[in-house]
């Protein structure tokens, strides 16, 4: 999976992509889980999730184009690769292995391997953090890619007290790459990985 992921990123020929790949190696992206206890909470889960989101987006694109041909030019392959594979890089260095307790089938306590999370190093929002990290690494991003990564969680990551964010997500959702990213992430998470 790692070789496929890296080959896809390099196929974009995007300025700064080698810095991103080196960073992902350094911080353990390829070994990290996708979540603490939900989808793909296992070693390599973040890599598997990212590829699942990419595959979902690639399978949905032809159907969108068939229904509305003019969106094709707004969904370039390189942008789909960048947005789907890198939307969760903010998770690369926040998980650590730990031991937790749970009740077994006989209602006895048992220890098990698990993950814990630490957001303290750079506590900004989920989508924002991935965008900021990519830009700091020197990756050249289009406006559509920034919107897709920033809003990939859709309303799940929306602070409802923020009038500005409510307006922003409404505008972002009108960009085909953002909508494709949101749908692909949710379908991968809840259907493929659920």
Tens digits of residue pLDDT in 136-167:
999 999 999 999 999 888 755 555 555 555 55
- pTM, two decimals, is 0.86
pLDDT over 60 at 168, yes or no: no
What does the mean pLDDT of the chain come to? 88
pLDDT over 90 at 169, yes or no: no
* Angstrom distances, CA of residue 50 to CA of 23, 82, 136: 16, 10, 21
Average pLDDT over residues 179-184: 93
| pLDDT single digits (tens) 74-120 | 999 999 999 999 999 999 888 888 888 889 999 999 998 888 888 77
Contact present, 50 and 84 (Cβ < 8 Å): yes
Name the residue with tokens 């559509």: 144
Name the residue with tokens 């889960």: 45
Name the residue with tokens 């041909």: 69
Exposed / middle / buried, residue 188 (Cβ in 10 Å: 0-12, 13-18, 19+): buried
Q: Computed from CA positions of residues 151, 153, 154, 155, in that sequence, does the dihedral angle turn out positive or negative?
A: negative
Average pLDDT over residues 34-49: 87
Contact present, 39 and 89 (Cβ < 8 Å): no
pLDDT of residue 41: 81
Q: How many Cβ atoms sit within 10 Å of the Cβ of residue 131?
A: 23
Cα 168 to its chain centre, rounded Å, is: 19
Q: Is 98 helix (H, G, I), strand (E, B) or coil?
A: strand
Q: Computed from CA positions of residues 129, 12, 169, 34, in that sequence, does the dihedral angle turn out positive or negative?
A: negative
């Amino acid at each position: 999976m790692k070789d496929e992921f890296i080959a896809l990123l390099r196929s974009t020929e995007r300025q700064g992509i080698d810095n991103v790949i080196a960073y992902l190696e350094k911080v353990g992206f390829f070994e990290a889980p996708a979540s603490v206890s939900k989808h793909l909470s296992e070693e390599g889960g973040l890599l598997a999730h990212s590829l699942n989101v990419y595959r979902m987006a690639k399978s949905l694109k032809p159907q969108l184009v068939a229904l509305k041909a003019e969106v094709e030019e707004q969904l370039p392959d390189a942008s789909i690769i960048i947005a789907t594979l890198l939307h969760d890089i903010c998770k690369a260095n926040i998980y650590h292995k730990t031991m937790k307790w749970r009740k077994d089938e006989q209602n006895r306590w048992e220890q098990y391997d698990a993950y814990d999370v630490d957001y303290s190093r750079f506590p900004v929002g989920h989508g924002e953090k991935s965008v900021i990290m990519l830009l700091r690494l020197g990756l050249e991003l289009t406006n559509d890619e920034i919107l897709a990564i920033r809003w990939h969680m859709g309303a799940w990551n929306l602070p409802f007290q923020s009038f500005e964010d409510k307006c922003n997500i409404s505008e972002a959702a009108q960009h085909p790459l953002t909508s494709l990213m949101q749908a692909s992430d949710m379908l991968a998470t809840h259907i493929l990985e659920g």
